[in-house]
Amino acid sequence: MKRRIQQYFVTGLLVWLPMGVTVWILLWLMGLLDGIFLALLAAADAVAPGLSSLTGPLRRIPGLGVILVAVVVFATGVFVANMFGQWWVRQWDGLMNRIPFVRSIYTGVKQVADTLFSGNGHAFSKALLVQYPRQGAWTIAFLTGRPSGEVATHLTGEFVSVYVPTTPNPTSGFFLMLPKADVIELKMTVDEALKYVISMGVVAPVPRHAEAAKPLPVPLN
């Protein structure tokens, strides 16, 4: 009887836990975007105090910040999709690069964002199997590119850059540079690999009917 009660409790937990975490993340995201919107309204009130009668009712509309931030992001994408918008982006980049302390932060974040969201890059384009943290212990990793610059001059042979996520939180992890021959490309998609990592190996992807995995053949040029 005790075992059955425990089984029912675990089954119920497996139903409610994903739903609860999903709702928590969505509420956190809405709170973050609403916070950005409220900060903009506060800045508008500080610049033009006469607008307080207009901005006051807007503060009490839940979720309005999410909608407006999404609209602004979309409109920005439309604006910079032409030559005129790209010229303004170059001017903004030039301004940020002339500010000593801001330059290092802005440039680093921009490079990471360009790498992650560029459709032409290799960042997180492949799920890999690597040995970590020691020989004989295997884990899931993601291809992020290959070493370049000064680092590449100190490496003999062909290397790849990989990101090894932690579990169950894949937003933290380890950056490694491994010999290409020691890395195995997996047939599973990046989404399937992420689910595998987050579930701590419980949710295993369905094996694909394909040839056996080989050392990473992806060209990284």
Residue 211's pLDDT is what? 46
Q: Each residue of 171-216: pLDDT tens digit?
A: 788 999 999 999 999 998 888 888 888 888 887 887 765 444 455 5
Answer whether 140's CB lies under 8 Å from 128's CB: yes
Q: Quick one: which of 100, 102, 80 has its CA closest to 90? A: 80
What is the chain's Cα-based Rg? 23
Q: Quick one: which of 136, 220, 145 has its CA closest to 182? A: 136
Sequence ranges of the domains in the chain? 2-59, 82-119, 127-198
Q: Each residue of 90-145: pLDDT tens digit?
A: 888 888 888 888 888 887 777 666 666 655 555 677 899 999 998 899 999 999 88
Torsion angle of alpha carbons 178, 182, 188, 190, nearest 10°? 0
What is the phi-psi region of residue 143: left when phi exceeds 0, alpha when psi lies from -120 to 50, beta otherwise?
beta
Q: Quick one: which of 101, 110, 123, 103 has its CA closest to 220? A: 123
Reduced 3-state DSSP string for the chain:
CHHHHHHHHHHHHHHHHHHHHHHHHHHHHHHHHHHHHHHHHHHHHHHCHHHHHHHHHHHCCCCHHHHHHHHHHHHHHHHCCCHHHHHHHHHHHHHHHCCHHHHHHHHHHHHHHHHHHCCCCCCCCCEEEEECCCCCCEEEEEEEECCCHHHHHCCCCCEEEEEEECCCCCCCEEEEEEEHHHCEECCCCHHHHHHHHHCCCCCCCCCCCCCCCCECCCCCC
> Regarding beta strands 127-131 and 138-145, do their DSSP bridges make them parallel or antiparallel, or are they unpaired?
antiparallel
pTM (two decimals) = 0.53
Q: Each residue of 1-58: pLDDT tens digit?
A: 777 787 777 777 777 877 787 788 878 877 887 777 777 777 777 777 766 666 667 6
Interior angle at CA 202, CA 197 and CA 208, nearest 5:
80
